[in-house]
Every structure is written in structure tokens, then in C-alpha cells.
Amino acid sequence: MKSISLLVAQRVFLGLLILFAISILIFFGTQLLPGDVAHAILGQQATPESVAALNEQLHLNRPPMERFLEWIDAIVQGDLGKSLANDISVSALIGERLTNTFFLAAIAGTIAVPFSLFLGIVSVVNKNSVMDKCISWLNLTFISFPDFFLGYVLIFIFSVKLGWVPNLANVHPGMGLGERFSAIALPCLTLVFIVSAHMTRMTKVAILNVLGSSYIEMARLKGLSSLRVVGIHALANAIAPVVTVIVLNLAYLVVGVVVVEVVFVYPGVGQLMVDSVSKRDIPVVQACALIFGATYIALNLVADIVAVTSNPRIRYPK
């Protein structure tokens, strides 16, 4: 038990260290964005005096390292700063958008995870059959499609041709749950297709890796059905790599949702980040990127902890 606690503590420390390194890349990377914040706010016809005054007011004329240390200190205290474009708190600006992004990711994950496990088990049980080949072909197809391309295809089919759902995912606080589900149907379906393809393939591979084990042969000799052997005995011992893949794809649902949000004009953090880049609203861009980085690191940390605790060789060291 002590070794597990030590390993978990090491993973947490490395996660915090990586997050700090990411914050350095985010801060100094945003300084390389083309354009000037003052000109973006005041317009291209602004005088040099007004630009200099605004830079001084926003503390943009101070050394980058000094501004970075102040930014980190404020973040540790829970202050993400103020938007340069709207002069309001970044936390208030991101709050509702973050809820929308997590809502979309949660619905997509709730559908994709059991669907992927089911397809993976069906593919293994019917190995080399027509069904297995069809599932493998569909997985390869959806993995090969870029997110934006698949999104536009779904818009064309289900919105333009069939008219079942709206082509834009417009949501607002006053919407009912049914209206919200209808609005996010296409972006949710896009994310489900993309992540399900990855999770199904890895579930199949993980189960196939343990099918040659002696306890699987014993289960078959007892006369158990193939579905019971695969769904209970094999899946239980292949759970560590399967959970790792699931958690990493859940991280993608949050971090990789930027393209999908832009395609469907969904009011999430990804759309806000893209809009803020066009406005040169650096504090908002930095906050969005840091949230994405922290989410990805946190979910990777969960995957590592699950892999460690589910491995008997680590739980019971010699």
C-alpha cells in the first residue's frame, strides 16, 4: 500500500511540474501571436501616444518575465485576470462557457464509453466474421476523418437534407433540457463517432492480448459461452489498458472539442478561445489554454492512478 501511495504522489508531483511547464509555454507562446493588443482594441488608426498609454495602462510595456511571475502568482490565488476586450473578469467570462463544454463532453462520453465497450466485445466474440470486419472498417473510416469534415458531413445529412436537427448548436441559459439535447445533437454525434472508433479498437486489442492466458482456457473448458468468457473474464483482466484509453479519450472530448465547437458555433471554451485569438485578448486565451492543459493533465493522472492500482504486480510487490 505504501508503494502505491508513493507512486500516486510521484504522479501528482509530475503532473504539477508539467502544468507549470505548460504555463510557461502558454504565456510566452501567446506573446508571439501576430498583431498588437493595443491596436486590436483601439483600431489601426490609433495614434502612437494612445497606443503607448493603453500599453502602460494594461502593463504590457513591462518585461515579460515580470508579467509572467505576476500572472502565475494571480493564478495560484484563483485570479485569472481581466479580459482586455471586455474589461470583465476572465473567470466570469469563462464560467458559463466551461459549463457548456463540460456538458457536451459529458453527454458524448456517456454515450461513447458503453457503446465502445459493447462494440469491442462484439468484435472479439465474432472475430474474423463479417460483423468484425464491418466494425473494423467503420473504426478506420471515422479515425481517418478529420473532426471538421465529419461535422460538415453530419450537418449536410441530418440538418440540410433530413432537417431533423439544427445545424448550429445555439444554447442559452433559458433553454429546456430537451431543446438543449436537440441543439447539441450534431456536435455530440461528431465527438461520439471520433472517440468511439479509438476506444473500440483499443478495447478489442486489450481483450485479444489476454485471450491466450491459461485462465481463459480454463473458463472455456468449463463450457462457458464466448460472450461470458470475453465480457467477464477477459475484460476484467484487460481493464487497465481499456480504462487508460477511455480516460485519454475523455480528455480529448474536453481538450479536442475546439474544432467541433467552431464548426457548430457552440458557445463553449473552445469557441471563446478562437474568438479571443482573433481579438488578441491575451488573458482569455491564456486562461482557456491553461484550463485545457490542466484538464488533460488531470485526466492523464487519473488514467495513471487507475493503471497503477489495477495492476497486482504493483499492489503486491515482492
Together in a domain, 43 and 163: no
Cβ neighbours around 235 below 10 Å, total: 19
Of 124 and 14, the one with more pLDDT:
14
Ramachandran area for residue 290 (φ above 0: left; ψ -120 to 50: alpha; else beta): alpha
For 87-131, what is each residue's pLDDT tens digit? 788 888 888 788 888 888 888 888 988 888 888 888 877 877 888
Asked if residue 84 belongs to a domain, the reply is: no
Distance of CA 146 to the CA centre of its chain: 15
Asked if residue 318 belongs to a domain, the reply is: no
Asked if residue 216 belongs to a domain, the reply is: yes
**How confident is the model at residue 182, as a pLDDT?**
83
**How confident is the model at residue 57, as a pLDDT?**
63
Of 3 and 13, the one with more pLDDT:
13
For 204-221, what is each residue's pLDDT tens digit? 887 777 766 666 666 666
Eight-state DSSP code of residue 203: H
| pLDDT surpassing 70 at residue 318 | no
Residue with cell 500516486: 8
The model's pTM is 0.77
Boundary (domain end) residue, out of 18, 43, 76? 76
State which residues form the domain around 254.
Answer: 91-307
Together in a domain, 52 and 196: no
Asked if residue 208 belongs to a domain, the reply is: yes
Percent of the chain with pLDDT over 70: 77
Boundary (domain end) residue, out of 52, 76, 100? 76
Together in a domain, 265 and 126: yes
Q: In the chain, count H helices and then E strands.
A: 17, 0
Asked if residue 317 belongs to a domain, the reply is: no
For 280-305, what is each residue's pLDDT tens digit? 778 888 888 888 888 888 888 887 77
| Domain count of the fold of the chain | 2
Together in a domain, 114 and 226: yes
Asked if residue 128 belongs to a domain, the reply is: yes
| pLDDT surpassing 60 at residue 315 | no
